[in-house]
Structure 1
Amino acid sequence: MTLTLRILQAPDGAPEIGARRLDPGAGPVSIGRGPDNDWVLPDPERHVSKLHCRIEAGADGFYLVDLSSNGVYFAAEGRPVGRGNRRALDAGDSFRIGDYRIGVGREPEPQDGPGPGSPHPGGVSAILAGTSDASEPRAARGLGGSADDWLAAVPGGAADAQVVQPYGWRDPPATTLTDLPEADEPFSDFASRSEHVAPIDEALQLAPARTLLPVDWHLGDAAEPTPAGGGAATPDWSGACAALVEGTGLGGLAAGPAPGDRAALVRAGQLLRRLVDVLATVEAVQRKTERDLGLVPPDRAPAGGDAPGDLPGLVADLLTAGTEDAGDRLVARLAGVARDARALGLAVAETADTVGAQILPDAIEDAAREGTRLAVGPLLKAAAWERYATLHGTLAGGEGAAAAEAVLAPLRASYARKI
């Protein structure tokens, strides 16, 4: 086995170094930066020792002996070989000496016979090229003689086609002008039999023709094309997407045409579910506020006639069942929520004005004067203070007082008038 050492990577400024051949019987090869080595690796930085390593042949291959203090590092190992140690060397290895990276390759074995690209000595290609030993004897022998001798001059395997030879084809060609073939005689056996010879398309057995046209080529463009992979065709969702955009009435706001994939419908459904969840949350907050403040009697159902958590089911009924009144029920449901929320806001504003008017200084003084007709001067101030203390205790929820009744009573009355 013969190996070759080639430089895969060299330090900057290093000259080009040719490959080194390793022959089993050529003796050891020394490598280093010293000029006396068999393979010199120039290294001004002195990362390569004068005698860095030696490659020697053994009974079972080549070995690398590390002779340096800097070490020889193989690519597959993280530690150096070590000074005085040796390691087996084979094709495909790569090792590092200083800043040099060296690869090991195998020399191709010499071939005794012709290469894969060269013609066979007895083949037709060799005869045509003039390199065959059979070309000169064949030319000297000529084409005369019996048919067996004539066919024997052709090298074996020269004709690979399977040809059925008609009658008379084995006869040698004429070699003189006077020697006419039997076919030229008017009543020869060859002339009579040649009329019954099979045509050339039966004599030469060719492979059957393959069908290159599809089976439905005659149907024209009316036939739907078959998918390339043979599987089911991808459905077109553009019509459904366009219908969805048309139903929303937002087609004029769209930046482009409706998409034609199923993912667009899935995204639209997810967006619709988020809107339904937001509306259901708004409705739930409104109804809980009404119950906590006592604005709606417990025996009365919420506005809209449906259960509080039935809004997603109402939308699902509209999408799947497609009942005629599902859309009207949904609109009425949301309109009721909006009406009740507006009524609550107006009632809160009216209640704030009512309660605020009671604690104004002029209102407190008027109430104190009405309660005590003779209250003037210090007596009026004392009566006003008592009136203020009573109102403050009621609003602030003093001990033994109904804390929120002073606010809730006018709020309930105002809300009942507005709904």
Structure 2
Amino acid sequence: MTLVLTIKALDRLDNGEAARLKLDRHGARIGRSPHMDWCLPDPRSYISSAHCEIEYRDDGYLLVDRSTNGTFVNRSTARITSPHRIADGDVILVGHYEIEARLDRGREADNPAAAPAAWGGWDSHGAREPVGDPARWDQPPARAATSGQGSVSGAWAPPRMEPTPQPSSAWAAAQPQAPPPSAWSSEPAVQATPAAVDVWGQLAVTNEVDWARGFAAPATSAFSPPPTSSPTTAPWGEVAAAPPPPPARAKARPAAPAPGPGGEWQAFLQGAGLRPDDFNGSPLEVLSTAGGLLRRLLGGMVVMMEARARAKAQLGAQNTSLEFDGNNPLKFTRSTDKAMAQMLNRPDRGFMPADRAVEDAFRDLQAHQLATLTAMQGALASTLDRFSPSAIRGRAETRGLLARIVPGARAAALWQAYEREFEGVTRGSDEAFMEVFAKEFRDAYERIAADMKAKQRS
């Protein structure tokens, strides 16, 4: 199901973005910050940096308010205080923007110019149709197309081609083709109803993220190197010889020689800490592969950071907020394209540089994993303590149960007390266990995060 949001009386925003947002079975963040999926400019700063969020859940879209001044629906004077399920025709008020919501369950939006979210969907303009058969994970990713003819321009569009018989891979982001459907993001054929005590199943549903989104192929074409005079590649570490200029004509200047890849190649080797003889392919092949790998790594990190944030919110831990300085762009970016731009450009004001951002993200993921394991141990220990013989005996004695029975019947009375205790826990198992787990998680998360920061400073 597709959701199309359209700002009334506007064709384009002041920042150049489209006044329409199309979501296809995923969510988006909306706000004044340029790091949001849909940035709504507001010079008066009435709109919050992260104003509201749209979540895709249970085959529908939920609107969640995250703002200071409120998000309003259908011209109501009361702000929404809980997730609002978006219906077709709803009018959402964000600051001075009136946004109309349209749901499309079986066909594409009427206007193809609707702006998709940065990670949402595949735009087939200028590229081949998606290949329907996804490849196995253990197949090596295909290399980027490297053509020695022609040049690449911003308006370049390849001719329509039939899909090749080779299997496509959702991991092969360097290929100029749409990503195949991923089993990670598809709905299961049969969804079993979770049992009353399926705590982890309920938690997983509320924190579901589209993992395949991080590995979507870029909407741009594959890299094509500049033309050279010879099909042979320059040796490692050497600057490729520039082709000789064509014969001079009357009143015509000779063509400028094509730049060689030597300087860029040496810079890449230096940054990666590698040597030319570490590779057996051409520099162009290695650089293309490295770019694809960087995209996959950043895409995976973006969805992992999103899953971490959702789990923290579900368990009541303090979420990351936008600060005046020292913000990690990977924590405020939900698209691979924006993450690539943030990491490869100079950092925006108030945000970490790329190397610090990656290190900080890995430390946070490590702390999250350690906190989860510690919370599981603590919650299990609390549960075992509750059912220990001494604990059950102590509660029975507190209620005066054992004092009123003869000594020979004490064992039977204790067993009955155990049964009542177990029945009470079973009836409220979800709430009781999650309450214990959430408390253990919050305590462990704060303790581990503080320890890691202290080690980082020392």
Task: Please state which band the TM-score falls in when normalised by the shorter chain.
Answer: 0.3 to 0.5
- Larger radius of gyration between Structure 1 and Structure 2: 1
Q: Which structure is higher in helix share?
A: 1
Higher relative contact order (CA 8 A, sep 6+): 2
